[in-house]
Chain A
Amino acid sequence: MSGTLVVGYDGRDGGEAALDEAIRMGRELDCRLVLVFAYEPAARAGGEVADLRATLKEMGAELEVSAHERLAQAGIEHELILIDSRPAPGLAQVAEERDARMVIVGGAGEAPLKGALLGATPHKLLNLTDRPVLVVRTGE
């Protein structure tokens, strides 16, 4: 084993693309994978947050369990993490703690305008971590 790759996995197209690439790279570089799902709701102020957070966490657990089956079949050593945070800071934190060689995230699903106005996860991540970030786009 020569290190750890942290993967942002949310079950969306971008997350799947990131996972596919991470599996490939994990094999080639002989790294273990750490899958991260961040479940903090976008807006903190706005009434009932606790149950939304619980629902998102449940959703993340289901997604990670299905990814776990794939990774187990592929025979890749891995760890599954649910983190009470927004995606970008959560990924940055886990990458730091696991001393990751690289953070892998999906880049699709973030429309350019939305990304520019409101901040897309890969973009924010670049500002939050000093580790290499690999952004994987989904097929056109």
Chain B
Amino acid sequence: MADPAVIVEEQDKGLKKDLGFFSTLIIGLNSTAPAYSLAAVLAGIVVAVGLEAPASLIVSFIPMFLIAASFYYMNRADPDCGTTFTWVTRALGPWAGWIAGWAVTMTGILVIGSLADVAALYTYSLFGLDGLYGSVIAVTGLAVLFIILTTALCVIGTEIAANFQTVLSAFQIGGLLLLAGVGLAKAIAGDVPASPVEIGSTQVSLTNPTIELSWFLPWEIGSTTALTAGLLIGVFIYWGWESSLSLNEENEDSNASGRAGIASTVLLVFTYVLVGTALVAYAGLDAFAAADRQGIESAIFDDLATPILGSPLDKLVLIAVLTSALASTQTTILPGARTTLSMAFHKAFPDRFGEVSPRYFTPAFSTIVIAVLAIAWYVPLNLFAQGSLFDSLQALSLLIAFYYAINGLSCFAFYRNEILRPGVWIPAAITLIAAAGLALAVGGIGDYYDLGGLFNALVWIGAGLAVLLLVTVLAGAQSLKSAIFIGIAPLAGAFMLGFVLIRSVLDLANPDTSSSGDVWLGVTPALVMGVGFMLVGVIAMFIWRSLHSKPYFARKLETVTSEALAKAPVAK
């Protein structure tokens, strides 16, 4: 064997520049896939929340923003530390890390079918193939073809060229804003067809309700159940947004990335709220309910684009959603495939998943396994339980909320010695957990049994967080900035998502809240799927632990190293 020391490792010097404002903005937008996300779930949100859907779109961003802070700062302090699986394993230990990694992987399996399904529906609609549009088999067939094609792209390992990505984002945001702008103008002018409009396969009269301030006020949402349902799906529409903040930065100066994060945030929230407001004001609740009832939530964009924009401009919206759905496959398969690769790398998963194809230099095996499981999940679900795709997206949101919440907790745990002076964090953490626990107990469960009004949950969580802030800062924060960004923000995000998770599980246990109207095992399909996927994970984890207790399950908890901190101080 030759001496491997002959190999020189070239540390790139000034090659990998900071990505810059515009590229980071584009990556943030494309990873979120706004056109597809909104098309897939807007009807579900409107049915759950009512006219206050725009308010729900605004508030659901708050926990996502707070969790994104944890992604950003963990990545900043230790650029090579990975993401959820690696971080959680290091900060909270192998058990938490394993199950968080499992959740990330399962999100891919749950979402790919829904993504391809929307792409298939929109393709038929774009080319006016009404017969195929209405055929479940034709839609499922094309969706499977899309899954295979996009998986092949991921295996080949090509990143869509930067210029093409820019065009895609421009299309998405442009298409959405066009629809929203014209829709809003027509809604306000009352320029709405008097005769019923076809939504899916039913005729619905558009009611054109008058826009009111209350649509934008979260506290006007009728019940905590409605609010939670909106927040849960909100997790899905903002999912992926944090990836633009987690890009490794070579330069210490992260201003461009930070500004891009803020810009993509504002653009996303603005676009979502505008589109939500425009479509609700144009069509009224009945149209959304009709789409939801038929299990084709995405039809609402398609069917409203025609009266709003007329032909051929309505095709722009179709193309925006279609390309968005196809392009986002990469951002949904990659995290799953790379997480299983990481798990195998750390001996937490079979070695086979850790292999990289010598031909394409991608984790081809992991990618294909995920795609096959996604097809195996999607096809029977779509053929035999029509209308359950929105249920899968709710289940998906449960998994995302779970791993985001753990991620937030791990950020706090990983940096605890930097946030607070040594010795202070234990009593502080106990106080915080007690405060948050109290908030959850009184706000969540109390409200569930109708012991309090809508505000209970929010008020108590707010109170818990205020106590948290006070205790942390008073008890000895090392710096106010680090205490806020790596301590309080991720923790607050974790608790908010924890609340959404617990409340959603309680709500979804009630079969009346089923979006498709289906009831599985006495509860909603979303709960069965979400809990089912996690239970399989827990079983798999115990099996793996019993077969291979070392080295993965013998790992010790870590906190951030001083070398990593020296390279990139958290707070300056």
Enumerate chain A interface residues (CB-CB to B < 8 A).
Answer: 10-12, 36, 41-56, 59, 61, 64-65, 68-69, 72, 79-85, 89-90, 93-94, 109, 114, 117-119
B residues 356-409 in Cβ contact with A at 8 Å: 356, 358-359, 361-363
Q: In the complex, which residues of chain A have a beta carbon less than 8 angstroms from the beta carbon of B339?
A: 47-48
Are B10 and A82 closer than 8 Å at their CB atoms?
A: yes
Q: Is B159 an interface residue (CB 8 A)?
A: yes
Q: What distance in Å separates the Cβ of B560 from its nearest Cβ neighbour in chain A?
A: 15
Enumerate chain B interface residues (CB-CB to A < 8 A).
Answer: 1-2, 4, 6-12, 15-16, 27, 31, 80-86, 104, 156-161, 243-244, 246-248, 330-331, 334-336, 338-339, 341-342, 345-346, 354, 356, 358-359, 361-363
Q: What distance in Å separates the Cβ of B49 from its nearest Cβ neighbour in chain A?
A: 30
- In the docked arrangement, what's the CA distance between A52 and B4, Å? 20
Q: In the complex, which residues of chain B have a beta carbon less than 8 angstroms from the beta carbon of A64?
A: 7
Are B12 and A48 closer than 8 Å at their CB atoms?
A: no
Are B354 and A55 closer than 8 Å at their CB atoms?
A: yes
Contact of A56 among B15, B80, B359, B361 (CB under 8 A): B361
Known: A42-B362, A55-B345, A119-B161. A82 touches B248 (CB 8 A): no
- In the docked arrangement, what's the CA distance between A130 and B346, Å? 42
Are B11 and A68 closer than 8 Å at their CB atoms?
A: no
Are A45 and B2 closer than 8 Å at their CB atoms?
A: no
Are B10 and A10 closer than 8 Å at their CB atoms?
A: no
Interface centre among A11, A44, A84, A89 (most CB of B within 10 A): A44
Are B6 and A50 closer than 8 Å at their CB atoms?
A: no
Q: What distance in Å separates the Cβ of A51 from its nearest Cβ neighbour in chain B?
A: 4
Contact of B159 among A43, A72, A94 (CB under 8 A): A43
- In the docked arrangement, what's the CA distance between A65 and B6, Å? 8
- In the docked arrangement, what's the CA distance between A48 and B339, Å? 6
Are B160 and A118 closer than 8 Å at their CB atoms?
A: yes
Are B86 and A50 closer than 8 Å at their CB atoms?
A: yes
Are B7 and A48 closer than 8 Å at their CB atoms?
A: no
Which B residue's beta carbon lies closest to that of A54? Answer: B345
- In the docked arrangement, what's the CA distance between A127 and B345, Å? 36
Interface centre among B7, B247, B342 (most CB of A within 10 A): B7
- In the docked arrangement, what's the CA distance between A109 and B361, Å? 13
Are A81 and B7 closer than 8 Å at their CB atoms?
A: yes
Are B161 and A52 closer than 8 Å at their CB atoms?
A: no
Q: In the complex, which residues of chain A have a beta carbon less than 8 angstroms from the beta carbon of B159?
A: 42-44, 118
- In the docked arrangement, what's the CA distance between A106 and B127, Å? 41
Interface centre among A47, A55, A61, A81 (most CB of B within 10 A): A47
Q: In the complex, which residues of chain B have a beta carbon less than 8 angstroms from the beta carbon of A89?
A: 15
- In the docked arrangement, what's the CA distance between A49 and B345, Å? 12
- Can you list 13 A-B contacts with CB-CB less than 8 angstroms, sorted by A residue number? A12-B358, A42-B361, A48-B342, A50-B82, A51-B345, A61-B4, A81-B7, A82-B8, A83-B9, A83-B10, A85-B12, A89-B15, A114-B156
Q: In the complex, which residues of chain A have a beta carbon less than 8 angstroms from the beta carbon of B361?
A: 10, 41-42, 56, 59
Known: A55-B345, A118-B161. A84 touches B244 (CB 8 A): no
Are A65 and B15 closer than 8 Å at their CB atoms?
A: no
Are A94 and B2 closer than 8 Å at their CB atoms?
A: no
Are A48 and B2 closer than 8 Å at their CB atoms?
A: no
Q: Which 5 A-B pairs have the closest CB atoms?
A: A47-B335, A46-B334, A48-B342, A45-B243, A51-B342
Contact of B11 among A47, A61, A65, A84 (CB under 8 A): A84
Interface centre among A44, A45, A53, A119 (most CB of B within 10 A): A45
Known: A43-B159, A82-B8. A65 touches B2 (CB 8 A): yes
Q: In the complex, which residues of chain A have a beta carbon less than 8 angstroms from the beta carbon of B4?
A: 61, 65
Interface centre among B82, B86, B156 (most CB of A within 10 A): B82
Q: In the complex, which residues of chain A have a beta carbon less than 8 angstroms from the beta carbon of B247?
A: 44-45
Known: A47-B334, A48-B85, A49-B338. A12 touches B80 (CB 8 A): no
Q: In the complex, which residues of chain B have a beta carbon less than 8 angstroms from the beta carbon of A12?
A: 358-359
- In the docked arrangement, what's the CA distance between A37 and B331, Å? 26
Contact of B7 among A11, A41, A65, A119 (CB under 8 A): A65
Q: In the complex, which residues of chain B have a beta carbon less than 8 angstroms from the beta carbon of A119?
A: 158, 161
- 11 additional A-B pairs beyond A42-B159, A118-B159, beta carbons within 8 Å, are A44-B248, A48-B82, A48-B83, A48-B84, A48-B335, A50-B81, A50-B86, A52-B338, A55-B354, A85-B16, A89-B15
Known: A51-B345, A65-B7. A46 touches B338 (CB 8 A): yes
Contact of B331 among A46, A81, A94 (CB under 8 A): A46
Are A81 and B341 closer than 8 Å at their CB atoms?
A: no
Which A residue's beta carbon lies closest to that of B245? Answer: A45
Q: In the complex, which residues of chain B have a beta carbon less than 8 angstroms from the beta carbon of A81?
A: 7-10
